């Protein structure tokens, strides 16, 4: 239980929960779409089994990601991907991206749809959560991931609609989330085995690189969002 007394552990848990809310809110939509054609008495089973399968698969993927991040240069690649994921959060997205999720009236077919769709949609979650876990040291990363995911599940399933409405009403939440991913990217890049001998491994440097990553996401996201909005404004004139 020593890990529960670590400030880094709880900071990472908070980051994982926020990542899951920001990047995993769509999972609740996928679950609803995949199970919408089930008989009413089977919908709860479809949601529970589909969610359980998706979470187990995600833990396995994150375990692999945590191992791979020990390979030189992969943390740098992961950091670059996190920057891009954070930027995408700040740029308006297509509203019809879930149109191809097919429902089923068979329980296990619906469960399979939930798991496969979650796998395809969770690559960004896996990279982001693995990056957040690396900030808590090397000894408790997988237990941290499992703990963070377990805490996130009821938030995603039970409160996703509320969270989505809050994001619509307070866009600053999305901006903060994107900058958080930039922060994680900067701190993760600091500990890549290929650069540890060149970059001081101090918290001050970590904070500096984290802040740089957060500001980079903010600047790129706002620039791309403005560019995307420009044609719309011209058409309206």
Q: What's the pLDDT tens digit per position in 164-198?
A: 567 678 878 788 888 888 898 888 888 888 888 88
**Total H helices, total E strands in the chain:** 8, 0
Q: Is the pLDDT of residue 222 over 80?
A: yes
Q: Is the pLDDT of residue 159 over 60?
A: no
Domain boundaries defined on the chain: 2-225
Both tokens assigned to 220: 């790129």
Which residues lie closer than 8 Å to 88 by C-beta, 6 or more apart? 221
CA dihedral of residues 34, 38, 43, 49 (deg, nearest 10):
-60
d(CA 55, CA 157): 12
Q: What's the pLDDT tens digit per position in 29-86?
A: 666 666 767 787 777 777 778 777 777 877 888 788 778 777 888 888 888 888 888 8
> Tokens 């990056």 sit at which residue?
131
Q: What are phi and psi of 185, to 5 degrees?
A: -60, -45
d(CA 17, CA 81): 19
pLDDT tier at 17, thresholds 50, 70, 90: confident
Which residues lie closer than 8 Å to 103 by C-beta, 6 or more apart? 33, 34, 35, 36, 37, 38, 110, 113
* Sign for the pseudo-dihedral over CA of 167, 94, 229, 234: negative
d(CA 232, CA 146): 43
pLDDT, position 217: 93
Q: What's the pLDDT tens digit per position in 120-134?
A: 666 667 777 787 777
- Mean pLDDT for 94-106 is 53
As a 3-state breakdown, the chain gives helix, strand, coil percent values, each rounded to 5, of 80, 0, 20
Q: Is the pLDDT of residue 211 over 90?
A: yes
pLDDT tier at 95, thresholds 50, 70, 90: very low
Q: Is the pLDDT of residue 220 over 90?
A: yes
Kindly report the average pLDDT of the chain as a whole number.
75
Q: If you write DSSP's letter for every residue of 71-106 in order, what string do you get?
A: STTHHHHHHHHHHHHHHHHTS---TTTTTT----SS
């Amino acid at each position: 239980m020593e890990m529960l007394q670590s400030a880094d552990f709880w900071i990472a848990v908070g980051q994982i929960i926020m990542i899951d809310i920001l990047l995993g809110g769509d999972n609740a939509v996928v679950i609803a779409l995949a199970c919408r054609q089930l008989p009413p008495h089977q919908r709860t089973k479809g949601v529970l089994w589909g969610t359980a399968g998706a979470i187990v698969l995600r833990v396995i993927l994150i375990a692999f990601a945590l191992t791979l991040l020990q390979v030189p240069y992969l943390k740098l690649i992961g950091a670059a991907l996190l920057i891009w994921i954070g930027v995408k959060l700040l740029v308006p997205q297509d509203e019809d991206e879930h149109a191809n999720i097919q429902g089923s009236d068979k329980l296990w077919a619906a469960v399979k749809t939930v798991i496969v769709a979650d796998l395809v949609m969770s690559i960004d979650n896996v990279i982001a959560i693995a990056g957040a876990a690396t900030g808590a040291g090397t000894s408790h990363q997988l237990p941290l991931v499992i703990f963070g995911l377990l805490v996130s599940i009821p938030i995603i399933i039970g409160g996703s609609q509320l969270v989505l409405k809050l994001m619509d009403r307070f866009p600053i939440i999305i901006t903060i989330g994107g900058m958080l991913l930039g922060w994680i990217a900067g701190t993760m890049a600091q500990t890549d085995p290929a650069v540890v001998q060149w970059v001081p491994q101090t918290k001050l440097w970590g904070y500096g690189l984290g802040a740089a990553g957060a500001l980079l996401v903010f600047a790129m996201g706002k620039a791309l969002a403005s560019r995307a909005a420009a044609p719309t404004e011209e058409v309206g004139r």
